[in-house]
Amino acid sequence: MIDKALMSLRPGAQFILINDEIHWHDTKQTQPTDVEIATEIARLQQEYEDKEYQRDRAKEYPSIADQLDTLYHGGLDAWKAQIKTVKDKYPKA
């Protein structure tokens, strides 16, 4: 997770991460502090947890082909009902 935090804090930075040890090679950006990294890891983790409903929904939505079939044969209201079932099962937090 340190690598994601570093990339988030310093986009495009040059570094190597070996066993959670940062080897900073970027001459244009300064290395974030341990506090900045820990804070960013916590933020990214919270962001990931907050979007669990999206991952759950994606697993249960019908395929695009099936959704188009529903639209063609059942119309927009049938498609909306199909999608709403999944959205109701996994509400946005």
pLDDT in tens, 43-55: 999 999 999 999 9
Q: What domain range is 8 assigned to?
A: 2-50
Do 27 and 60 belong to one domain?
Answer: no
Phi then psi dihedrals of residue 21, to 5 deg: -100, 125
Rounded CA-CA distance 59/69 in Å is: 19
Contact 45, 1 (CB under 8 A): yes
pLDDT value of position 7: 97
Q: How many CB atoms lie within 10 A of CB 86?
A: 15
Tens of pLDDT, residue by residue over 69-87, are: 999 999 999 999 999 999 9
Do 22 and 42 belong to one domain?
Answer: yes
- As for how many domains the chain has, the answer is 2
- Whether residue 56 has pLDDT greater than 80: yes
pTM summary value: 0.73
Rounded CA-CA distance 88/93 in Å is: 11
Q: Which amino acid is at 19?
A: N
